[in-house]
């Protein structure tokens, strides 16, 4: 099958630069390039065809069922050759939603039989993409759909901005391969015929992305002596640089600005591993405080106890809702037994301090969690990685129902699955309501692992995981 690369990216991101490199570099492949109607490249020795975006709405105008009629026609014609092409490159317009292009390869039998959607490559302008992302326009979709992302023009931003940008992109799409580039300078084998849909990197998935979306944004573990201490929210009367103080300038609060949800949980019993985790800044996976995280998850979904400034509190199960006065509040904290205590904070932007004898104590271990949970419309990724054999009927029923009800919100879905009674891996990929599943090669000897990734909006990790588990035999 002929691999197809779809090139997306906003105007000025560097798409044309990449296209020109592909057309002029000696890579030994005979390619056909289908440029968008505003394309401006033209080179003799490769086949360049000017396409005109022609959407075929197959089902009452539903975008999930729209395909590119012009591609069906052009790609059909490109099969009529004595010598088959080595690859197809489709350039989309800057504002295009990549879904209909991808869907074209799932709906039409002729396309399915002859072509393989290899990868959606999105070129991102490191300097300007945040503006687009904040505006919530098609650039979010272009990142969500991508298998490969070229973070281009890295010379125009600082290393810190770049790291922040990459983190932001990761939150939308946890599985794309990200390459940092200047002038779209990337070895072409990272862009062409990369097998991007095949989820070969399943084992390398960012472990963070396989975890639940925690309802809290920050946690710190403190070693506290027994006694009467103080929990302080806000900057008032506290020397800086000791507590948890992000100092972010844009303070985006979720919900009521004068309420902060906090869980204070004892780490009990504290093991040597816990104490060791307090001595190092190295992040480790799985989290050494996973049990407390799970307990905090429960606390945050249970009833809360409201505390006014001055009201006393103690570590223990349950959620505390601190009522603040202009962002500040001081609460006497009674600790009966010396030990390790985890503090989980609903909004990670609030400065939080624990004062022992009037002096702020530093947490020995701390962690920031994903900040996306409270934006229901945010595009994010959910990954499920679990061993076990799947019942094909249950799996089919679940996926069909899921796509029927939530296909509009699911931009991409990919999976490598272990189906009962099969020696081959079931590899599948989907775009909105359409998907393609096939058994490819045999599993390698040794333990098998199911990997499933969803990228989209309104994804409920717990529900998806539960439904997946119900398909296990």
Smallest Cα–Cα separation from 94: which of 64, 70, 129? 129
Cβ closer to another protein: 80 or 250?
A: 80
261 binds another protein (CB under 8 A): no
Q: Are 472 and 388 in contact (CB under 8 A)?
A: yes
Q: Are 113 and 142 in contact (CB under 8 A)?
A: no
Stretch that binds another protein, among 73-81, 206-214, 444-452, 465-473 (CB under 8 A): 73-81
Stretch that binds another protein, among 78-86, 147-155, 207-215, 409-417 (CB under 8 A): 78-86
What's the min distance (Å) between Cβ of 82 and another protein? 5
CA distance 119 to 430: 13
Looking at residues 288 to 327 of the shown chain, list those that interact with another protein (rule: CB under 8 A).
none
Stretch that binds another protein, among 7-15, 75-83, 283-291, 420-428 (CB under 8 A): 75-83
Cβ closer to another protein: 110 or 325?
A: 110
49 φ/ψ angles, rounded to the nearest 5 degrees: -120, 135
Q: Are 301 and 215 in contact (CB under 8 A)?
A: yes
CA distance 88 to 192: 9
What's the min distance (Å) between Cβ of 293 and another protein? 51
Query: What count of other Cβ atoms lies within 10 Å of the Cβ of residue 350?
Result: 24
Cβ closer to another protein: 85 or 459?
A: 85
User: Where in 93-162 does DSSP place strands (E)?
Assistant: 115-125, 148-152
77 binds another protein (CB under 8 A): yes
For tokens 């600005």, name the residue: 257
Looking at residues 81 to 140 of the shown chain, list those that interact with another protein (rule: CB under 8 A).
81-82, 108-110
Q: How many residues bind another protein (CB under 8 A)?
A: 16
Cβ closer to another protein: 69 or 234?
A: 69
Looking at residues 26 to 55 of the shown chain, list those that interact with another protein (rule: CB under 8 A).
50, 52, 54
Q: Are 170 and 455 in contact (CB under 8 A)?
A: no
What's the min distance (Å) between Cβ of 455 and another protein? 28
Positive or negative: CA dihedral 131, 136, 138, 24: positive
Cβ closer to another protein: 96 or 175?
A: 96
Going by their DSSP bridges, the two strands 66-68 and 339-345 should be labelled as unpaired
69 binds another protein (CB under 8 A): yes
CA distance 94 to 7: 10
Chain residues that interact with another protein, rule: CB under 8 A: 50, 52, 54, 56, 58, 69-70, 72-73, 77, 80-82, 108-110
């Amino acid at each position: 099958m002929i691999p197809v690369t779809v090139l997306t990216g906003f105007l000025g991101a560097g798409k044309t630069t990449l296209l020109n490199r592909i057309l002029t570099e000696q890579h030994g492949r005979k390619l056909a390039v289908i440029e968008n109607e505003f394309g401006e490249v033209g080179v003799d020795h490769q086949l360049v065809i000017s396409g005109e975006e022609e959407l075929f709405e197959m089902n009452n105008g539903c975008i999930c069922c729209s395909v590119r009629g012009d591609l069906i026609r052009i790609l059909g014609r490109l099969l009529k050759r004595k010598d088959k092409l080595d690859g197809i490159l489709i350039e989309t317009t800057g504002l295009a939603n990549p879904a209909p292009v991808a869907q074209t390869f799932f709906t039409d039998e002729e396309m399915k039989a002859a072509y393989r959607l290899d990868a959606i490559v999105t070129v991102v302008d490191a300097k300007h993409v945040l503006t687009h992302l904040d505006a919530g326009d098609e650039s979010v979709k272009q990142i969500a759909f991508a298998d490969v992302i070229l973070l281009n023009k890295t010379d125009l931003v600082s290393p810190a901005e770049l790291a922040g940008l990459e983190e932001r992109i990761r939150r939308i799409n946890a599985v794309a391969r990200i390459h940092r580039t200047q002038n779209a300078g990337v070895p072409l084998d990272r862009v062409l015929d990369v097998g991007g849909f095949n989820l070969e990197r399943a084992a390398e998935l960012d472990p963070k992305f396989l975890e639940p979306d925690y309802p809290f944004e920050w946690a710190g573990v403190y070693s506290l002596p027994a006694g009467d201490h103080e929990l302080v929210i806000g900057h008032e009367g506290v020397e800086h640089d000791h507590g948890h103080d992000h100092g972010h300038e844009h303070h985006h609060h979720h919900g009521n600005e004068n309420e902060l949800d906090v869980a204070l949980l004892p780490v009990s019993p504290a093991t040597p591993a816990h104490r060791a985790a307090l001595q190092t800044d190295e992040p480790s996976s799985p989290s050494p405080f996973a049990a407390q995280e799970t307990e905090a998850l429960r606390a945050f979904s249970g009833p809360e106890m409201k505390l006014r400034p001055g009201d006393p509190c103690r570590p223990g199960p349950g959620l505390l809702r601190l009522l603040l006065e202009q962002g500040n509040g001081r609460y006497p904290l009674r600790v009966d037994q010396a030990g390790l205590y985890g503090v989980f904070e609903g909004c990670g932007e609030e400065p939080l301090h624990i004062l022992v004898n009037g002096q702020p104590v530093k947490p020995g271990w701390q962690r920031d969690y994903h900040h996306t949970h409270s934006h229901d419309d945010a595009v994010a990724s959910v990954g499920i990685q679990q061993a076990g054999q799947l019942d094909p009927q249950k799996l089919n029923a679940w996926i069909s129902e899921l796509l029927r009800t939530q296909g509009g919100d699911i931009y991409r879905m990919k999976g490598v699955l272990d189906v009962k009674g099969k020696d081959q891996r079931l590899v599948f990929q989907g775009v909105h309501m359409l998907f393609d599943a096939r058994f490819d090669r045999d599993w390698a000897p040794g333990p098998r692992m199911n990997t499933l990734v969803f990228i989209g909006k309104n994804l409920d990790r717990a529900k998806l995981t539960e439904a997946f588990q119900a398909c296990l035999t």
